[in-house]
Every structure is written in C-alpha cells, then in structure tokens.
Chain A
Amino acid sequence: MASVSLERLSKIYDQRVPALSELSLDIPDGAFTVLLGPSGCGKSTVLRLVAGLDLPDSGRIRLDLRDVTRLPPGDRDVAMVFQHYALYPHLTVRENLEFPLRMRRVPPIQRRPRLLQVAELLQLGGLLDRLPSQLSGGQRQRVALGRALVREPRAFLLDEPLSNLDATLRAELRSELSRLHQRVGTTMLYVTHDQIEAMTMADRIAVLRAGWLEQEGTPAELYDAPATSFVAGFIGAPGMNLLPAQTWREGGVWGDLIPAAWRRDRADQAGVRPEALRLVPAGQGAAAEVTLVERFGADALVHLSAGGEQLVVRAAAGALPSRGQPIGVATEWAALHWFGPDGRRLP
C-alpha cells in the first residue's frame, strides 16, 4: 500500500489543448479516492500519468515518498483496471490472472496459491479455463479486477470500470468494489463521470474540470459545501439549483424565494439543493408553474419554471402537483449557497 502524491502535474497532448494544468493532489495511504468530472476534464490523463503510460510535461508523482515520475509502468507497482477490461483475448482466465506474475518472474509454485486466493475472493473458481470471449460483462470485469489484485500492487487505478455494464450489474459491482476495498485496504484511484458512483464509493472525491482541480474533499464536504458553482451543479442527482443574481436582485421573479434580508452583496449566483426547497400553496413563497413531475416511488422531482429559470424540487410522493399547475416554492436562509462572479463559494 502506498500514498500517492501529485505535485503540480501538467500535460498537453499534441502541443494543443492542455489536458491537465498544475494538478496537485494527495491521496492518503489506503484511501478510496474518486476522480470525478465530465468527459475531457483530464481525469483519465491523471490515471495514465500515475500508471506511467504517459509522461507529464511538468510536475512530479510520488508513491509514498519515492519519485516515480519517469519510471516505466512495470516498475511502479501500480495496477490498472481499464474501461474495456483489456483482457488478453487469446489467454484463458487462469492465464490472464497469471500473466502479471509470469511477467514478474514469480516462480510457478508461488503463482498457484495467489491465483486461487484471488479466484476465490472474486468468485472466479468455475471460470478459470474459459476464454474472455466466453464470459459476461460482469465476469470480465471481475477477471480484470483479479488480474490487478493478483500481484498485490501498492495502488489500484480504475478507469471507469463500470461504465460498460448495465444499471443493475453496475449497482451490484459498486457495492462489491467497496467491500473489496475494505478487505484488501489498498489505495485506490478511481475515475468516473458518474457522481453516484463517486458519492457511494469514495472516501475522498476530487472534482476536475477542463484540466483543473475544482475541489477535493469527502463526499459530504463536496455535497454540503461545494467550493464552486460547477461542483454544486455537478454533485447531487439532480445537482444544485443555481439562480443568477439578476433573477432575484431588485425585484426579479425569484425575489420572493430569496428575500432582500438574506441576500449577499457580492453574490453572482445563489444555489439551493432540490431537497432544501419546499412546495407551498400558490400565493405563498415564490410563484412558479409546474412543468414536469418525475415520480420515483418514494419521492418525486418536481420541475418548476418562472422568469425563464428552471428549478427542481424534491418532494415526498404524497400529494404531488400536476403539470401546468401554479404553485409556490419556499426555502430557508441556512439552505442557501452563495457563489461570486468567479464561480467560487463566498465565505
């Protein structure tokens, strides 16, 4: 196990768009850290740099205290699980699992117990003599995990490992991965664009956007106190409602939701989570119109519109309004988040 430390990492591909700009991040020993962001934000680049598959243009990567920035991938003692599994198609499951051991010249007599241990941990026992083409998506993913586990690396890198699976299997493997992490306790760096995966699995989340680190912290910190309006909108399903100042300042439509006494002078945007909003009878709170009701069984998302702005409210499943109905919406002062003109959270 090892801590991973990234110091001012930058990478530009093909001398054009910077994929990563001065990224600094400390991943504690044994932590499950998720790199989260939309596609093209540089999160996979971070993994490739840590793995040694690409070299950074500047900056440093340390595993524990050892500088591994220029070390070839095989010498870093990190394992990676790829998005498309990257199982060797001509080798059986057993041979796939053995491959990293064979490449590291582990004697056959030592390979067997480790292989069996991993096969048992991931329930691969019955599949050892099959080829990858004879496995289901979930089984392939398990083999890919097994191949990473078998050589007991100091850190795991996982590049969107669940994105090719269907929703049920994804949820299943999500909890399986969390359990696995608890059992082996190895440092994990997990890349995803799915904020549910991030929120449910991570000890810590780093949100990236266009090559820059937006915020790093525990899932609760990111949810309760997003550092930027981007993080506020990205974390949560759905994300935070963000209302530009002109919609509530000086008698805007949303002025009734955010009374003058609550307003922050330098704020450019006010944010409020869907669950911090309350539906009230028309005539109270801010007046809006219901545009859509999404029912989830236990609760529902009610989409409201007024003055050209959309707002989502999470409401209990009981008496839900219908589409087109005029309605009021209200909130608490303490539930509001304020963001300045640069998108940063106001202290």
Chain B
Amino acid sequence: MRLKRLLGWLLAALVSALMLAPFLVMLSTSLMEEFAVFREPVPLWPAHPQWQNYREALTALPFGRFFLNALVFSGLVVVGQVVTAATAGYAFARLRFPGRRPLFAVTLGLLMVPAVVLLIPRFLLIHALGWVDSVPGLVSTELVSVWGIFLVRQACQAVPRELEDAARLDGAGEWAVFAEVALPALRPALATLALFGFIDSWKNYLWPLIATPSLDHRTVEVGVGTLHGLYGSSWPHQMAAAVTALVPLLLVFLVLQRYFIRGIQWTGYR
C-alpha cells in the first residue's frame, strides 16, 4: 500500500516536472542576455539575470493598454457567457418548449466545429456591421459558450426539482424561480464557467489578431506576438513579455483552482 502510494507520488512528480519544464525555460530565457540563448549548451539559469529585459519589452509596445484591453475583453466575455449559459442551460434543463431536444442536439453539435473554421464567417459578420477594430467587434461573437450551456444544463439537473416546485407554490413566477432558486444553486457552476471563460479569452490569440488590425484594441497575447515581429530574434524580450502575460492567469488559477477541477468533473470535457 505504501509502495503504491510512493509510486503514485513519483509519477505525479514526473508528470508535473514535464508540465513545468517549458515554463521554467520561459522564465530563465526571459532573464538571459540576448545571445546567451544561442550558446551551447544553453545554461539552465543565467549567471546574471537581466531584469531590464522586462522593462525594455514592456515599453517597446503599449503593453499597459494591451493589458487593459485584455481585461475589458475577458471581463465582457465572462459576463456575456455567464448570462447566456445560465439562461440557456436552465431553459434546456427545465423548461418545456417545442423543439427543445433537437435544438439542444444542434447546440451540442457546435462543439464539434473547430473554432478556426468560424474565423472568416465571424470576421465577415463584424465587418458587415462596421465593427472591425472595436470593442463590440472583438466581444460580440464570443458571448456564447456552448460548453458553458452544457455545463449549466448538467448542473441544473443536480438541483432538486422540489425546490422549484416549492418556489412556484410560494408564489414565485417563472423568472423568480430562476433568479431566486435556480441561480443561487448554480453559483459554483457559473464560477467555474467564469474561470474558464476568463482563461480562454485571456489566452485567445487568433480572434483578437484578426478582429483588431490596429494597436488600439489589441490584447496582451497579440501584443506578445507583435513583439515577435519587432524583436525578431530577441528571445529574452519575447519571453519577458510572455511571462508577464501569464501572471494574471496564474493568479486567477491559484485562487480558483477548485472550480477548475469541478468543471472537468461535471462535464468530463475540456
């Protein structure tokens, strides 16, 4: 039994090391001198950490603005996804309306469409609306998460129906049943969705790149990419920007990791 546990720990440590290695390389690279990266063998850790890489990288482009943009983008997407998933997921789980089953099947089917396939249609859509390079253009097509709808629907089914019946008898209308009884019970699911929505939006690269041709509305991820063009060969500067872009995600994850795990448990999908 002890040996089994020890082996388990060893395996976990090995997998963790494998997962952590790229991040450590990123961190150490970000502190190296520009050409130290090409030395053979590459040192594991720089002898003289170059902290100014961070200052240089973050001032080469308006990163303050990028961070703000990413925060606005992720924040709005989270609000949108929580609202749409809560209402749609509840409706699919609880309300009886014609075409409920086929509609849900179609909604779930959308999970199988690769996001890349939808890039051009989405761009054409915001282009037609005159929203290219604007916050509405960036956000509008991200406001619904099919995975979120699925998550909320699953979570709804774990809420006892008796609670909603009791509320109806207590005089609550359909909206009050949803808002006063179902929604509080769905809080953990919605927190999970908010977390995933935030992480996904924060690290979204392709869509903000396409939807925002100018620097004004670009997000951090796109900013890091743009840096690649500017500092073509300076890996330390790019890595410094990448590490900085990662910090908010890391903080969010550290605080909310139990919701992260719950999301995977509930849907068996990620």
Nearest A-chain residue to B164, judged by Cβ: A86
Is chain B's binding surface mostly helix, strand, loop or mixed?
helix
- Known A88-B181, A89-B185; contact A73-B168, beta-carbon cutoff 8 A: yes
A-B contact count (CB 8 A): 62
The 8 A CB mask of B158-172 against A (1 = contact, 0 = none) is: 001011011111111
Which of B169, B170, B185, B187 sits near A53, CB closer than 8 Å? B169
B43 touches A (CB below 8 Å): no
Q: How far is the CA of A89 from the CA of B180 in the complex (A)?
A: 11
Q: Taking the complex as formed, is B125 at the interface, i.e. its CB lies under 8 A from any CB of chain A?
A: no
- Nearest CB of chain B from residue A315's CB, rounded to whole Å: 44
Given the interface pairs A88-B181, A89-B185, A90-B185, the reply to whether A103 lies near B163 with Cβ below 8 Å is no
Bound CA–CA A51/B165 (angstroms) = 9
Residues of A within 8 A of B166 (CB): 80, 82, 86, 88, 147
Check: B64 CB closer than 8 A to any chain A CB.
no
A210–B158 alpha-carbon span in the complex (Å): 30
A contacts with B: majority SS: loop
Give the complex CA separation of A99 and B166 in angstroms: 10
- The answer to whether A74 and B162 have CB atoms under 8 Å apart is no
For residue B8, CB closer than 8 A to chain A, the reply is no
Q: Which residue of B lies closest to A106 (CB)?
A: B171
Distance of A1 Cα from B181 Cα, bound (Å): 28
A327 at the B interface (CB under 8 A): no
Check if B162 sits within 8 Å of A103, measured CB to CB: no
> Which residues, 180 to 222 on B, are CB-close (under 8 Å) to A?
180-181, 184-185, 187
Is A49's beta carbon under 8 Å from chain B? no
Contact with B along A39-70 (1 / 0, CB 8 A): 00000000000011100000000000000000
Pair B185/A74 contact, Cβ less than 8 Å: no
Residue picked from B160, B169, B184, most chain A C-beta under 10 Å: B169
Q: Which of B202-254 contact A (CB under 8 A)?
A: none
Residues of B participating in the A interface, judged by any CB pair closer than 8 Å: 160, 162-163, 165-173, 176, 180-181, 184-185, 187
Given contacts A73-B168, A103-B171, 19 further A-B contacts (CB under 8 A): A51-B169, A52-B169, A74-B169, A74-B170, A74-B171, A79-B170, A82-B162, A86-B162, A86-B165, A86-B166, A88-B167, A89-B185, A90-B187, A99-B167, A100-B170, A100-B171, A103-B167, A147-B170, A151-B170
Top 10 A-B residue pairs of the complex, sorted by shortest distance between their CB atoms: A103-B171, A100-B170, A86-B166, A86-B162, A74-B171, A90-B184, A73-B168, A104-B171, A82-B162, A73-B169
